[in-house]
A and B are shown apart, each in its own frame.
Chain A
């Protein structure tokens, strides 16, 4: 994914620097709500259910205070990534049992021309594996800083 494609995926309207929710179901709903508000999702129930069913398959809390809830669903027409941050942390049932502070909600359509969904998930996992990236994301003051971190090399 090049810089232009990344800028297209990580949009300002999907940048949530201070999540209000304290529980896993609430935070998933809060993040999906952004997609509804911005007109990217018309049917919130379908998206929420697909995300929740994906969590049944296995927690998307990948450890190190990071979660990447994701799903493919017909209820969206293009790939969307919502970034959310909770400085206090959210009990998420992560693999390391630690609360989650950085969340990336990835929702894509099942039929996707550019086929970015899985490569994007892979790159996010890889990037968030680095402590430096995670720390910088926790401190990012605004969308511009966030984008620089996500676009920068590690």
Chain B
């Protein structure tokens, strides 16, 4: 089964944060980090599978926020803590399409 656009974007963000955040900190702990170039390449390859509209939106959000995609917990956007409409949450879970928070504009991911 192919991956949905939101799945691809979540993995894309995971890799982005992995490269951005953990490189220095994890190297200090003692983990090996020699594959940075390979991971950058994998991230680039992944871009080919993401719809250009979503990728552009993600990149635009990334200029404003550290986490362009945020989880939804108990019907709340964990980026800005705005309560999302109930109907909106139900649709997000069922469709697995891409929804954005009406308050902050971040993309939303329903973890549970």
Contact = CB atoms under 8 A, between A and B. Distances in A.
Contacts of A49: 11, 14
Contacts of A50: 11, 14-15, 18
B7 A56 contact: no
A61 to B, nearest CB: 9
A135 to B, nearest CB: 20
A62 B30 contact: yes
Interface string A83-121: 000000000000100000000000001110000001001
Chain B's interface size range is: 35 or more
Interface of B: 3, 7, 10-11, 13-15, 17-19, 21-23, 25-26, 29-36, 38-39, 42, 67, 69-71, 73, 78, 109, 111-112
A42 B72 CA distance: 14
In this complex, the member of A59, A75, A95 whose beta carbon has the largest number of chain B beta carbons within 10 angstroms is: A75
